[in-house]
Structure 1
Amino acid sequence: MRVNSNTKARTRAAAGLTVAALAAGATAGAGPATAQPKAAPAAAPAADCSAAYRIEQKLSSGTTWRMCWRYDGKAGLVLEKISYQPKGEPKPIRVLNSARLGQIHVPYDDGSVEYDDLTGFDFAQGLMNLAPGECPGGTIKSVKVPDSWNEDPNVKGLCTTTRSRGHAYRMQGDTANKVFQAQGKDLLVYTVNQVGWYEYMTEWRFQDDGAITMNVGATGSLSWDDYDAGDGRGWPIGKGASAKSTSHSHNAFWRLDFALDGSTKNKVEQYDSAVTAPTRGQRAPTTKTTRTKVTKELAGDSKAYRWWRMVSATGKNKDGHARSYEIVPGVTTKYPGRSYTKRDLYVTQYNKCELFASHNPGNCGPGAGKSVDKWVNGQTLTHPVVWMNIGFHHIARDEDQQPMPVHWQGFSIAPRDVTAMNPLTPAELGWQNGHWQPRR
């Protein structure tokens, strides 16, 4: 679904996405946009960057997110120095050093072509201008595209806005005389990059409860000159079965450099649970969970009853528990055709040269390899970097034309013991921490 190389140097036109399409399919539970983000008070601590490259948003529930942004010539939008400050916390809590896409790998089912959109097909050059209606209630920032093909390298291409996501919680007491409920709010940061016929929406959702969701949404158009899957693998599009759209995969990688509490010396842990059938005298099966400390580089697979977390080496919450973030994989179709797409998660020791999960352009030293799987070679983890691989097998359908509805793929990281209680806890329930007795 690509255009000829001589048509790639396109002028940046406003992307033809409707507000309805923008809100249609977010994996984090999209809702209607809310009011224009308000500037944080001048006295609040700011992210360590100039005002033009700073994103700072206090959500209506009291949580403030702060970060810096820049635009990379291959990766596109890069978010850095990301911190989270819920109400009741005296200062921002650093979460991530940097967060960015690590690759979008697109192999076609018939074996005719495969693309690495970030390093091989000018993803970053395809940044699109956004119309005001695509950033409802928010602000569109101007982005200077490095080495731009266009006369004017400045693109109005970065949207920051807020959005409701539905219930953050609901609790009704035993006496049924009061319902505690709140509607969750998110800071939404996104860009649109055109690659051939596709338009990729790179979306970051920063929730008021401390979770972060990363999504890539593919929309745009099916390629009319791609309806030639003569090998029988394609899906018929249009009248009859003469035109078949070639099926393909989108394997999206993200690269997360954690810095919990401001330190990159984080610890990685893997948890696995085993369920055993009930023995005599037991009313139900038993489940035992074991923790494995991951001290060396890891190539891991998601499976039932398995999860990972990144643990702060320096910070604890008010209960004395180490702060951490749990990695929550999204729905994925793992592509087995390449060595680097055979695993769901990689944890590598930081190397400033290791930036893209496949066809990495940097020279990382003799024998280092050009893909993330080659970098897992037994190094001790003192500065762990997480690479997440989420795949989508796109078998086209009649409904994909015209334009193609957004199909989303992504994952989340969720706070685990970052705060002593739910950061959105109402004040009158704040005393119910740990073992408590009903008040008389």
Structure 2
Amino acid sequence: MEMMATLCSPWMNKRWQVNCRFPINHLLTRSRRGGLTCPRPLEGVSLLVDLDELKIVEYYDRARVPVPKAEGTEYRRSKQKPPFGPRLNRFAIEQPDGPGFKINGHKISWANWEFHVGFDVRAGPIISLASIYDLEKGTYRQVLYRGFVSELFVPYMDPTEEWYYKTFFDAGEFGFSQSAVPLEPLADCPANAAFIDSYYAREDGTPVKISNAICIFEQHSGSVLWRHTEIAISREVARGELDSEDGHNHWNYDYILDWEFKPSGSIKIGVGLTGILEVKAADYTHTSQIKEEAYGTLLAENTIGVVTDKSSLRKSYWTVESETAKMNQTPKFRSISNPLLSSDDFPQIRSAFTNYNVWVTPYNKSEKWAGGQYIDRSHGDDTLATWSLRNRGIENKDIVLWYTMGFHHVPCQEDFPIMPTLSGGFELRPTNFFESNPVLKTKPPNHVNCTTKP
């Protein structure tokens, strides 16, 4: 092994946070050609480093496990070799009248909506003062005072020595804004998108600029606002929506956040997960060799994709079997239910905000982070679950709605070497908020006739 081709990655664990000691038990190798590091871990070796003395105080070499091969881990388009899949046809977005939205600083106005877009070092993008124009009342009515990602909890459910404590709070421990990456025009966002730069302060107060951190665009996704057909009456159809999007990279994982505003008063919040799976090295080259619990899926030779919850230990999906895949896995399509971590599991105590899908609390300016103000030091005594035990009234109070959205990710071969985007989300939909259908009198846009030149 070439030491110059080895990368050491420290992983946080509460029991090592005394005297500034951190474990390094995630050693990764890089191929001679550059290659990737995440899919090639050195398993069984761990170090304990004292950051005050800047020296290794403990060293463990528990096992010898084959390092996964570099072949088949390349995902960059420029490095791919034939055969290739079919090329997708081009299409264009035309807005001859210009964009339908206006950006004034960080204030966005579009159709019957107006809202403010901000940025926070811990939460990342923040949507605030979202208001919709009520045609009947002749005024804007506030729908959302402030909306943002309070926390992201990522537990890896492998109890072996180098993995048992690998649970992450990506917002509270790392800062969601510090992982934000510039969005690529025509790749992350369509041609009609406008971009907003964002800023945050480093630990020493130095400002950091993230170019193209957020994009705003209109899209025609095929969603119908309303339609109806009757005999002797021509069909009526209405469409339209506005999107705000940003992207974040957390080491191996990428997150995509999408806020979608509809003229009907709905706000859809979407989350996309993609990137490179967290994997561990193993002795197996074929599923027939696995005789004990592997806590993951054999994705390639000597490569296990580790599950991120306990769904692998429960019947959490139905399967429809078909033909045999490359690694002799059973091909399947899955309908996933909602298993949870054990209530007495220490990571679950710290992430007790995931106990329920929906929480409602009276507004308190000190209750901003679902996992607690100082999540890296938390024992679970300052979480959303703890605040809710106070049994405070919410009638005639400003309230906070906390929605917990979960992904139970059991890796599969289709996720290797890079994971297709897995999407989820929820919708805030007005109910008895308006006197009648708020888009009944929405004027449809004039049609654009596009001609393609050879």
Which residue is equivalent to 2:147? Answer: 99
Q: Is the 8 A contact 2:241 2:263 kept in 1?
A: yes
Q: Is the 8 A contact 2:182 2:210 kept in 1?
A: no
1:21-63 deviation per Cα after TM superposition (whole angstroms, max 9, x unaligned): xxxxxxxxxx9977463345xxxxxxxxx932111122xxxxx
Question: For the structure 1 residues 227 and 124, does the alpha-carbon distance in structure 2 shift closer, same or farther, using more than 3 Å as the test?
Answer: farther
How much has 1:123 moved relative to structure 2? Answer: 2.3
**Could you tell me which of 380, 389, 401 is aligned with 2:416?**
401
Matched position secondary structure for 2:414:
helix
Q: Is the 8 A contact 2:132 2:141 kept in 1?
A: yes
Matched position secondary structure for 1:393:
coil
Q: Is the 8 A contact 1:227 1:246 kept in 2?
A: no
Q: Is the 8 A contact 2:280 2:306 kept in 1?
A: no
**Could you tell me which of 228, 232, 235 is aligned with 2:294?**
232
Instruction: Name which of structure 1's ranges 342-351 and 82-91 shifts more when overlaid on structure 2.
Output: 82-91
Which residue is equivalent to 1:135? Answer: 189
Q: Kindly provide the amino acid, as one letter, of the partner of residue 403 in structure 2.
A: M
Which residue is equivalent to 1:156? Answer: 212
- The question of 1:392 aligning with 2:440 is answered no
Matched position secondary structure for 1:118:
helix
Which residue is equivalent to 1:371? Answer: 383
1:182-234 deviation per Cα after TM superposition (whole angstroms, max 9, x unaligned): 2x211101110111111111111111111011121111222455778984120
Q: Is the 8 A contact 1:170 1:180 kept in 2?
A: yes
Q: Kindly provide the amino acid, as one letter, of the partner of residue 180 in structure 1.
A: E
Distance in 1 (CA, whole Å) between partners of 2:339 and 2:234 is: 46
Greater relative contact order: 1 or 2 (C-alpha under 8 angstroms, separation 6 or more)? Answer: 1
Question: For the structure 1 residues 114 and 146, does the alpha-carbon distance in structure 2 shift closer, same or farther, using more than 3 Å as the test?
Answer: same
- The question of 1:119 aligning with 2:172 is answered yes
How much has 1:383 moved relative to structure 2? Answer: 1.7
Distance in 1 (CA, whole Å) between partners of 2:142 and 2:337 is: 29
Aligned residues: 306
Question: For the structure 1 residues 96 and 34, does the alpha-carbon distance in structure 2 shift closer, same or farther, using more than 3 Å as the test?
Answer: farther
Q: Is the 8 A contact 2:279 2:304 kept in 1?
A: no
Question: For the structure 1 residues 249 and 147, does the alpha-carbon distance in structure 2 shift closer, same or farther, using more than 3 Å as the test?
Answer: farther
1:133-190 deviation per Cα after TM superposition (whole angstroms, max 9, x unaligned): 12211101111123289985333210111112322222112x24411122x2111011
Q: Is the 8 A contact 1:249 1:391 kept in 2?
A: no
Equivalent residues in 2 for 1:314-393, closer than 5 Å:
333=338, 335-337=340-342, 338=348, 339-361=352-374, 369-376=381-388, 377-381=390-394, 382-393=397-408
Distance in 1 (CA, whole Å) between partners of 2:421 and 2:158 is: 24
Distance in 2 (CA, whole Å) between partners of 1:228 and 1:81 is: 55
1:268-313 deviation per Cα after TM superposition (whole angstroms, max 9, x unaligned): xxxxxxxxxxxxxxxxxxxxxxxxxxxxxxxxxxxxxxxxxxxxxx
1:311-355 deviation per Cα after TM superposition (whole angstroms, max 9, x unaligned): xxxxxxxxxxxxxxxxxxxx9735233233221111111111111
Matched position secondary structure for 2:152:
strand
Where structure 1 has 5 or more consecutive residues not aligned to the other structure, the ranges are: 7-15, 19-30, 41-49, 59-63, 251-330, 429-440
Q: Is the 8 A contact 1:198 1:218 kept in 2?
A: yes
Q: Kindly provide the amino acid, as one letter, of the partner of residue 96 in structure 1.
A: L
Which residue is equivalent to 2:434? Answer: 419
Please report the RMSD computed on the Cα atoms of aligned residues, expressed in angstroms: 3.5
**Could you tell me which of 191, 207, 229 is aligned with 1:172?**
229
Distance in 2 (CA, whole Å) between partners of 1:53 and 1:218 is: 27
Percent identical: 21
Matched position secondary structure for 2:435:
coil
Where structure 2 has 5 or more consecutive residues not aligned to the other structure, the ranges are: 1-6, 12-74, 78-90, 285-291, 311-335, 343-347, 444-454
Q: Kindly provide the amino acid, as one letter, of the partner of residue 297 in structure 2.
A: W
Question: For the structure 1 residues 199 and 332, does the alpha-carbon distance in structure 2 shift closer, same or farther, using more than 3 Å as the test?
Answer: farther
Distance in 2 (CA, whole Å) between partners of 1:196 and 1:424 is: 43
Q: Is the 8 A contact 2:200 2:207 kept in 1?
A: no
1:65-115 deviation per Cα after TM superposition (whole angstroms, max 9, x unaligned): 111121111011111111112655522111111011111101111142111
Q: Is the 8 A contact 1:33 1:162 kept in 2?
A: no
Which protein is bigger by CA-based radius of gyration? Answer: 2
- The question of 1:193 aligning with 2:253 is answered no
Distance in 1 (CA, whole Å) between partners of 2:266 and 2:92 is: 19
TM-score of the superposed pair, with normalisation by structure 1: 0.62
Distance in 2 (CA, whole Å) between partners of 1:415 and 1:228 is: 54
TM-score of the superposed pair, with normalisation by structure 2: 0.60
